[in-house]
Chain A
Amino acid sequence: EVQLVESGGGLVQPGGSLRLSCAASGFTFSSYEMNWVRQAPGKGLEWVSYISSSGSTIYYADSVKGRFTISRDNAKNSLYLQMNSLRAEDTAVYYCARDGKGVAGFDYWGQGTLVTVSS
């Protein structure tokens, strides 16, 4: 069974940092591209970042470029999101999502972890 489990969320002050993790199991993690998607309270979905299976190709949404860093450790079956210079508008539930093969959408999602940026 495919499972994605996020962790690392919490309350952080504006300007602070946080590192999210996503533990993957039930599939060959190193063969899949991965993404982070977030959802502010009561709002829609916003794609945040993408990483290729090897980690060699990375993309970011303009809203987080220069502040967030996506990475992965295929030996540990883990995906990460390092978030720096956090702002109030970064408050959201953050989901990790597996990229289906080709352009098949995001076929598996974690349960999400809440990040709250507030003083």
Chain B
Amino acid sequence: IQLTQSPSSLSASVGDRVTITCRASQGISSYLAWYQQKPGKAPKLLIYAASTLQSGVPSRFSGSGSGTDFTLTISSLQPEDFATYYCQQLNSYSITFGQGTRLEIK
């Protein structure tokens, strides 16, 4: 199962609302997770089961979608949110990740 994220990169300002999309090559129900990764660090789980917020993750992050189309939304960007974001499908083993979306400061 292939995951295609868009956009590949994005420039935004603090306070902006940002949406990243992830499209699966076939239906994966709600078996999708989102991760944030900062340079030199391990990925951090943000959202699982497409829309469930991981414990400790700020509520400005939200996820939606099912089947083949999913979105990650950050309602009001904070300085610490500038990072790379990946989606991941867990519908089947082999697990796959999207290619990533780099979120940069405008």
Contact = CB atoms under 8 A, between A and B. Distances in A.
A and B co-occur in one complex = yes
Lowest 8 CB-CB distances: which A-B pairs, in order?
A105-B33, A109-B42, A105-B48, A59-B93, A47-B95, A45-B97, A104-B48, A103-B90
Contacts, number: 62
Interface in A4-50: 35, 37, 44-47, 50
B96 A112 contact: no
B54 A107 contact: yes
A95 interface: yes
Given A44-B86, A46-B97, A103 B43 contact: no
A44 B97 contact: yes
Contact of B42 (A61, A95, A105): A95
B10 interface: no
A100 interface: yes
B18 interface: no
A112 B43 CA distance: 10
Interface string A82-119: 00000000000001000010111111011110000000
A1 interface: no
Interface of B: 31, 33, 35, 37, 42-45, 47-49, 52, 54, 86, 88, 90-91, 93-100
Most buried by A among B45, B95, B96: B95
A47 B94 contact: yes
Given A95-B42, A105-B33, A112-B42, A100 B94 contact: no
A5 B97 CA distance: 23
A111 B86 CA distance: 17
A105 B88 contact: yes
Nearest to A109: B42
A80 to B, nearest CB: 19
